[in-house]
Homo-oligomer: A and B are copies of this chain.
Amino acid sequence: MPRNTPIDEPWSAYIKEVGLNLQRLRISKGLSQERTAYDAGLSRYTYQKFEKGESMPGTPANPSLHNIMAIAQVLEADLEEILPRPWPDLHAR
């Protein structure tokens, strides 16, 4: 397992915040989860998990760059709006 697998607590809490941002932005655009997922080329199930911040129960989400950028485009949002500051410290420990 790579040393810095994204299962640590700071990432887990952070990616939940990202999920809440996605939900807030989506709702402000008046889009359903289904429509957002479809337009970003994702299944609704996959997109729902991003909003929950989990890939599986207890496992923090870790979307690909392509997917998070596709969602950002659909929501007409910059990554800075989706990825709250401050970031967790992701340097390898």
Chain A residues within CB distance 8 Å of chain B? 2-4, 6, 11, 15, 38-43, 46, 62-66, 68-70, 73-74, 79-80, 83, 87, 89-92
Given A4-B42, A65-B68, A69-B90, 8 more A-B residue pairs with CB atoms under 8 Å apart are A4-B40, A4-B41, A39-B91, A39-B92, A69-B83, A70-B91, A73-B87, A79-B79
From B38, B69, B80, B92, A92 is in contact (CB under 8 Å) with B38
Contact yes or no, B79 A83, CB < 8 A: yes
From B38, B80, B90, A80 is in contact (CB under 8 Å) with B80
Q: Which residues of B contact A38 (CB under 8 A)?
A: 92
**Given the contacts A2-B41, A69-B83, A79-B83, A74 and B62 also touching, CB distance less than 8 Å:** no
Contact yes or no, B69 A87, CB < 8 A: yes
Contact yes or no, A11 B66, CB < 8 A: yes
Give complex CA distance A42, B46 in Å: 25
